[in-house]
Each structure stands twice: as structure tokens, then as C-alpha cells.
Amino acid sequence: MTAPSGLHEVEHTVTVRAPAAEVYRLIADVGNWPRLFPPTVHVERIGEVDGGERIQIWATANGEAKGWTSRRLLDPAARRIGFAQEVTAAPVATMGGTWIVDEVSGEECLVRLLHHYRALDDDPDGLAWIDTAVDRNSDAELAALKASAELGGTEPERLLSFEDSLRVDGSAKDVYDFLNEAGLWAERLPHVARVALTEDRPGLQILEMDTRTADGSTHTTKSVRVCFPHEKIVYKQVTLPALMDLHTGYWLLEEDGDGVLVTSQHTVVLNTGSIARVLGADAGVPEAARFVQDALSRNSTATLGHAREYAESRR
């Protein structure tokens, strides 16, 4: 995809000590993106078009939650991926670009990330906002790509993925309403001390919470949530507790004739640099993993229990 004339054009680059084919693979698989790229919250493939694919992306830009639809054209032989937004989010009028992975040697490559864009009504303030967002997100994405590729991905011992499930004798709609209305959680959930929910665009939420821990103290988290009515809520924490470098997850509702199975899933990458400070000098990765999973499962199970009570009381 080439840039039409008259658009603002920028390029960001990074050298990665990893084979070009492996780096291209990481970029090509959008399923990697929420874990790989800090700004990306969730990506859904929504179809194929002209030898490429259409995807829907939800991400943060300058601290704001945004969502848009893009098409991508993948060229594995040349290790190039062109992209263009089909449905943009203000202040963007047009946005596109190309990922290019150039082989430097068998063990090193140069990644180039090109963007071209225009602001709505060619507004100077809008263009400045886009300039800043593209710079921040490109730098964050390239740094994360470099770190992941050079480390061979996240060290297995730092990565946790687990889920808790509960069957509800009620409707998916009522369970979903409870989970979606997180602005009421301070009233509904004993482990939530304070909550602030904003939803400037339907189905795209920013949720800030003070959560009570087992010892009675509280910690603050902030998440971006993408809501699919009566089916699923996907989230990514953008303000994390000390023991986590990454926390993504989802609430999944599967309705059948007997009610609804509700699942809370978590994916976590541990922050090993904080283990001694939080858990003591004798603690290591296994202790941190147990601590984090116990805390998250305890809160998820409590939330699931209250959601069940809410839904079953409305039958």
C-alpha cells in the first residue's frame, strides 16, 4: 500500500537481533498483539478481502481508548505488511502504512514502521495529536517487538494463564449486565473499594478501581475494556499492580438450555523485579505466581458469585 500524495508521512525503525522470518511472524499474527504491543487492547479478525484480511483493533492513543477497522495485505516473501484504516476514529481522517522487515544477517534484521495520515478537516491541533500518538505508539511497539524477539518471547516461568468458571441458572443478558455495569461494583462487590467507569464510545470502557487485598490494603488498577453484549468482555490493564508486567483477560458467557456458563480468564506476565519488595527476599517466581493467581482467582470467583446471585434473582 503506497501513501497517497498530500498525507503526512513518518518512519520509525529498530534493529532486532533475531532472524527476519521470526520477527515477521510476530507482526503478522494479530493474535500476538495484545500481549506483544503495549497500546493494543484487543484485535478481532472480521474477514478476508483482496488477498488480505480485515481486522478490528482497540488500542490506547495518548491515554485515550480508540477503536478502528483496518485492512492488511501480507507479503511473506518480501516480509512486508501494508495496512490502511477503513473506519477511523477522530481526529484521524486517513491512516495507513507498512511494516517492513529487512534482513541484515541471518541473526539480525531492521524493522521499519511507516505511517501516512491526515487529520479531520486538516485541523492543526488534530494533526499534532496524531503526530504524538503515532510517535508514542510506534516507539512502544518497536521496543516491545525487539524485547520479545530477542528474548525468544516471554520466559515460560513468568507467564501465567488460567481461568475460573461458574454455571448460572439464569440468562446471559443478566450476567452480562452485571459485568458490564462495573461502575456499580463498589456497591455490589465487597472487594472493590472505589470505582470510576467512563464510556465515551458504546462498548469501549475505561475502568479504574481500588481493590481490597486479603490484608485489608488497597491497590489501584486501570483497564480498557471492549464489550460484546451478552457474549464477552475483553480487557487489558494499563495501570498494573507491582507484581505484573502484563495482565489481559476476558469474561466469556456461553448460554445453553440449562443456563449460562461464565468464565473469567487471565493472562499475566510477572514482574520479577518487584518480587522481593512485595513478597520478601526469600520469595521467587513460584511464590509470586501462586500469590498472583490466588489473588486474581479470589476476586474473579467473588465477582462470578455475585453475578450469579444477581442473574438468578431476576428469573
Indicate whether 1 pLDDT > 80.
Answer: no
Question: What are the DSSP E strand ranges found in the chain?
Answer: 8-16, 40-49, 52-61, 64-75, 80-87, 92-105, 108-119, 159-168, 192-201, 204-212, 218-228, 232-239, 244-256, 259-270
Asked if 160 and 293 touch (Cβ cutoff 8 Å), the reply is yes
Q: 132-163, pLDDT tens digit by residue?
A: 999 999 999 999 999 889 876 667 788 999 99
- Percent of the residues in the chain that have a pLDDT greater than 90, as a whole number: 86
At residue 143, the 3 state secondary structure works out as: helix
**Mean pLDDT on 306-313:** 97
User: Using CA atoms, how far apart are residues 235 and 249, in angstroms rounded to an integer?
Assistant: 5
Q: Which CATH architecture has domain 8-151?
A: 2-Layer Sandwich (3.30)
Indicate whether 70 pLDDT > 80.
Answer: yes
Fold of 156-313: Alpha-D-Glucose-1,6-Bisphosphate; Chain A, domain 4 (3.30.530)
Residue 224: count other Cβ atoms within 10 Å of its Cβ. 24
Indicate whether 111 pLDDT > 90.
Answer: yes
User: Using CA atoms, how far apart are residues 129 and 215, in angstroms rounded to an integer?
Assistant: 43
**Mean pLDDT on 90-95:** 94
pLDDT score at 51: 73
User: Using CA atoms, how far apart are residues 12 and 52, in angstroms rounded to an integer?
Assistant: 24
Q: Helix H segments across 152-171?
A: none
Q: 21-40, pLDDT tens digit by residue?
A: 999 999 999 998 999 999 99
- Percent of the residues in the chain that have a pLDDT greater than 70, as a whole number: 97
User: Using CA atoms, how far apart are residues 53 and 82, in angstroms rounded to an integer?
Assistant: 11
pLDDT score at 52: 87
Average pLDDT for the chain: 93
User: Does the fold of domain 156-313 match that of domain 8-151?
Assistant: yes
Indicate whether 108 pLDDT > 70.
Answer: yes
Q: β-pairing, 8-16 with 108-119?
A: antiparallel
Report the DSSP beta bridge partners of residue 244: 270
Q: Which three cell numbers stand for residue 253?
A: 458467557
Q: Please report, for residues 87, 115, 134, 194, 229, the alpha-carbon distance to residue 94 in angstroms, rounded to integers and kept in the order given.
A: 9, 10, 13, 39, 29
**Mean pLDDT on 281-291:** 96
**Mean pLDDT on 279-299:** 96
Q: 193-248, pLDDT tens digit by residue?
A: 999 999 999 999 999 999 988 777 889 999 999 999 999 999 999 999 999 999 99
**Which of 47-61, 228-242, 272-286, 287-301 is predicted least confidently?**
47-61
pLDDT score at 154: 62
**Which of 75-79, 119-123, 214-218 is predicted least confidently?**
214-218
User: Using CA atoms, how far apart are residues 31 and 233, in angstroms rounded to an integer?
Assistant: 16
Q: β-pairing, 64-75 with 108-119?
A: unpaired
Asked if 226 and 42 touch (Cβ cutoff 8 Å), the reply is yes
At residue 20, the 3 state secondary structure works out as: helix
User: Using CA atoms, how far apart are residues 98 and 69, in angstroms rounded to an integer?
Assistant: 16
pLDDT score at 153: 61
Indicate whether 265 pLDDT > 70.
Answer: yes
Q: 46-60, pLDDT tens digit by residue?
A: 998 877 899 999 999
Residue 315 binned pLDDT confidence (cut-offs 50, 70, 90): confident
pLDDT score at 63: 87
pTM confidence score: 0.89
Indicate whether 312 pLDDT > 90.
Answer: yes
Indicate whether 268 pLDDT > 90.
Answer: yes
Q: Please report, for residues 28, 164, 167, 181, 312, the alpha-carbon distance to residue 309 in angstroms, rounded to integers and kept in the order given.
A: 43, 17, 11, 15, 5
Tell which phi-psi region holds residue 223, choosing left (phi > 0), alpha (psi between -120 and 50) or beta.
beta
Indicate whether 6 pLDDT > 90.
Answer: no
Domain ranges of the chain: 8-151, 156-313
